[in-house]
Structure 1
């Protein structure tokens, strides 16, 4: 079967795309579904588009301010609900939603007992950090680089780690100066298509969840027009089986004030045919 030419497909053609880091952000539906269905969490919508969530303990605040500088998701945790955040994570508007959803779902599940299940001795503790997950997927260090970088085998995703002392308030105010940055695109180091920032105190198990979603080999669902133009020669695509969810309904689900049902499992939409290769292998203030 010849490779699919995305330019020949209708914009609403449903596809399965790999790798996730080049597939585009997709819809926000999965993240909204996690938060809308989280027991005890509250939601506020401002300006008709911006969604804000608070955990039952009031320690976690999550914002999705659409027209802000980063325009994606900002997540903060404060031991004192009225105090300065202990850590902050920012996913820009172009970060694949699978990465945001993995981080958010793990946060929702681990928060009720203050992450104890994911700490040493906890039932979900693996001892693996995000860098361990990446290295197990054959990521390699960029030798001699400052700050420290490790990059994926295809050179299209990278993790930057800062060294030395970093003022925590600088991280809170300026995501670019965070301890860790995940990024992806044709040039993920110097001109990334998307970026995710994690301050120094962001719990390891949450960063590990994001890294696991980033390195997953599974193809992800996208409409043809959601795959970034500059990535189309770098992704593997195949047609997804028809689903009962029309494009109009999917578009409605992107609106933060709509009711969001849990996203259907991607496996149900994966046909048995192998992937076809297409071409070459403002956070708000």
Structure 2
């Protein structure tokens, strides 16, 4: 707990796939501000719906306890005519969801492996004998791929230190349908396997997740996360417009934005 008068601080949490949901603006703010996706007006509703300007792709954030929170859906109305869907549960770190939206908006589908699971193998994850499944070294994550292309991610965590024999408890799941572009799947898997920690307020994390992660002793000012968000928006805006990023003023953080 922070002492009175001290600025709030955040923990550096790893592995990132057990860092809980985090700030959804990491996904939604760049789509709306850098790429001008249109927001549906749903007064007094927690549902967020963003639609790409060509109306072929939409992102739905629906905080429902019984459904996937994040859904990224393509209609299949473009040249290839193939619809696809990506879904993520509530505790999926927003930074991992954002790897899909970043790949969709900034990365062309070139040099992508035909089998996205190769991304995990290159990161040192273990492929099963059956060749359709890869497990993380700590065995908290299983990624399986159906022969027709659908991909399932299952993430678990220990239920707590008080159990004589800790058991695995579901943390979150994700599902990518057939015809999901391989470069989008590969981007998510690369984000999943990244060793970089994520910044989190420990008090906001689910208690059972805190028992399965490593937390660095050094804390980071909470303002750092806000600055990183706006730096991310500025970088993606510059990418979208083809303009170079303006230099950051020396000796100070990025200015906070107001509406």
Taking structure 1 as the reference length, the TM-score comes to 0.66
Task: Give the direction of change, closer, same or farther, for the CA distance of 1:191–1:241 in structure 2 (3 Å limit).
Answer: closer
Matched pairs, number: 216
> How far apart, CA to CA, are the structure 2 residues paired with 1:143 and 1:30?
37
1:51 paired residue among 48, 52, 55: 48
**Please, which runs of 5 or more residues in structure 2 have no aligned partner?**
3-7, 159-167, 235-259
How is 1:68-217 mapped onto 2 (pairs within 5 angstroms)?
Answer: 69-80=66-77, 86-110=83-107, 117-119=108-110, 125-127=111-113, 129-143=115-129, 148-163=132-147, 179-186=150-157, 191-217=169-195
> Given the alignment of the two structures, is residue 33 of structure 1 paired with residue 29 of structure 2, yes or no?
yes
Cα distance, 1:38–1:133 mapped onto 2, change above 3 Å? same
CA distance in 1, matches of 2:68, 2:119: 28
Distance 1:34 1:217, change over 3 A: same
C-alpha distance in 2 between matches for 1:43 and 1:157: 33
Q: 1:142 to 1:262 in 2, by over 3 A?
A: same
Pick which of 205-214 and 44-53 moved more: 44-53
Contact 1:103 1:207 in 2 (8 A): yes
Give the CA deviation at 1:264: 8.7
2:205 corresponds to: 227
What do residues 218-258 of structure 1 show as CA deviations (whole Å, max 9, x unaligned)? Answer: 11100012333112232111232324479xx99xxxxxxxx
Q: Please report how far the alpha carbon of residue 68 of structure 1 lies from its aligned counterpart in structure 2 after TM superposition.
A: 6.0
Query: What is the Cα-based RMSD across aligned positions, in Å?
Result: 3.1
Paired with 1:85 and 1:51, the residues of 2 have a C-alpha distance of 25
TM-score computed with the length of structure 2 as normaliser = 0.72
Deviation per residue, 1:97-130 (Å, 9 max, x gap)? 11101111111224xxxxxx323xxxxx244642
The one of the two structures with greater contact order (alpha-carbon pairs below 8 A, sep at least 6) is 1
Q: For the residues of structure 2 that align with 1:98 and 1:45, how far apart are their CA atoms?
A: 25
**1:13 and 1:224 in contact (8 A); partners too:** no
Report the Cα distance in structure 1 between the residues aligned to 2:179 and 2:32, rounded to whole angstroms.
26
Runs (4 or more) in structure 1 with deviation over 6 Å come to none
Q: Aligned to 2:174, what secondary structure does the other structure show?
A: strand
CA distance in 2, matches of 1:126, 1:85: 18
Q: Contact conserved, 1:41 with 1:54, CA < 8 A, in 2?
A: yes
The structural deviation recorded for 1:20 is: 0.4
